[in-house]
């Protein structure tokens, strides 16, 4: 009943075939990077808190080779992106600097080129992705990190010396500058550094990560795409980020992470100094940072019941205090939680649609999916997802 995710190998073959059809030659370079699902820790990354994602088996593949045309020529076959799907532009240089524009999907690609630490020559490339676009599982970071990994092969003299965090921050900057999304580092970090059979607790202040095994064969992660699309470069996401930054200053803190040790009573002391909406925003962030740090230890100890309770508390906080959920996603979470064998469920990603993530017993998957289908007023897509590896080069 869950959808099958195409293998990386089959996606690579498909990309190579599209490349031959478009450019009349074989590509000689290939790279991929995964999307991600965040188990818990939402809207905490840009507040220097903790996040707890895992890399997904869905990937974006970029194949290509240098050309003599003097232009970068790029075709995307990703579903759900805006037209045109084929673009041409001169290589990035001081004389011809790249800038954002339309189509929107190309901004992520161009932004990485503009932030790559080296001179990128003219090339041909094809993009194929199995990461749902607008689903809250970071199709944008998958494209950015896959592009950077491709450029590391295209420009080996420059690319081989790039440190991992330098790569993560360059891809994040591409999203800030070219897509106008002031995201934290989580998506690019996990897409770069994910490891199979592990989730990754990321400290977004120190940039340190701790791998947490997910090896119990009887417990799985179900990702459910509501197929309600979100746009994070609208006003809602930047508004919440500004509210958090303003509240931090009012509280005399560099970031809300520094307020994460406040008790509910101590937090309530700030109510008279912050408007009620902003207070709810910071209450979510502070309690979410606390939940996420606790959740990593709970999962490591195999206490799935407690982990599930933290997931539900996270969803309720995102729905009521941060106000980034929606009725469709709420329906899916409620339907999942009605099924025996489900430990926890919550919205995941930036919000306003997208996906839910559910931790449950393997034996409960079919019943859970059926109940979600019966209860949901839309048409959802379901994926049972093992924790997977991060970005890598591929052999053609």
Catalytic residue numbers read 187
Contact 256, 286 (CB under 8 A): yes
Minimal CA–CA distance to 311: which of 58, 41, 104?
Answer: 41
Minimal CA–CA distance to 386: which of 50, 58, 52, 146?
Answer: 58
Orientation of helix 104-114 relative to helix 164-178, angle to 10°: 140
């Amino acid at each position: 009943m869950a959808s099958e995710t195409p293998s990386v190998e089959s996606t690579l073959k498909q990309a190579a075939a599209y490349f031959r059809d478009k450019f009349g030659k074989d590509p000689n370079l290939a790279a991929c990077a995964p999307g991600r699902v965040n188990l818990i820790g939402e809207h905490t990354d840009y507040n220097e808190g903790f996040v707890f994602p895992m890399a997904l088996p869905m990937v974006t593949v970029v194949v290509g080779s240098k050309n003599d045309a003097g232009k970068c020529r790029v075709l995307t076959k990703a579903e759900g992106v805006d037209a045109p799907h084929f673009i041409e532009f001169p290589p990035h240089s001081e004389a011809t600097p790249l800038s954002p524009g339309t189509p929107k999907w190309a901004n992520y690609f161009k932004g990485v080129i503009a932030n790559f630490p080296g001179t990128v020559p003219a090339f041909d490339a094809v993009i194929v992705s199995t990461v749902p676009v607008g689903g809250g599982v970071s199709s944008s970071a998958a494209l950015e990190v896959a592009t950077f990994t491709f450029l590391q092969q295209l420009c080996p003299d420059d690319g081989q010396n790039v440190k991992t965090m330098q790569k993560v921050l360059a891809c994040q900057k591409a999203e800030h500058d070219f897509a106008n999304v002031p995201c934290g580092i989580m998506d690019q970090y996990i897409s770069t550094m994910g490891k199979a059979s592990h989730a990754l607790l990321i400290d977004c202040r120190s940039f340190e990560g701790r791998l947490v095994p997910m090896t119990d064969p009887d417990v799985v992660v179900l990702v459910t795409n509501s197929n309600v699309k979100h746009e994070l470069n609208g006003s809602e996401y930047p508004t919440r980020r500004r509210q958090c930054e303003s509240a931090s200053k009012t509280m005399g803190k560099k970031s809300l992470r520094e307020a994460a040790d406040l008790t509910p009573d101590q937090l309530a002391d700030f109510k008279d100094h912050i408007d009620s909406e902003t207070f709810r925003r910071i209450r979510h962030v502070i309690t979410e940072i606390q939940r996420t740090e606790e959740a990593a230890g709970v999962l490591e100890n195999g206490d799935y019941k407690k982990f599930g309770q933290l997931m539900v508390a996270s969803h309720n906080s995102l729905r009521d205090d941060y106000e980034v959920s929606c009725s469709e996603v709420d329906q899916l979470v409620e339907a999942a939680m009605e099924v025996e064998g489900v430990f926890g469920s919550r919205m995941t990603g930036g919000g306003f649609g997208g996906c839910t993530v559910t931790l449950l017993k393997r034996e409960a998957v079919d019943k859970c999916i059926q109940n979600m289908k019966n209860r949901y007023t839309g048409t959802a897509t379901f994926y049972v997802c093992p924790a997977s590896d991060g970005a890598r080069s591929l052999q053609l």
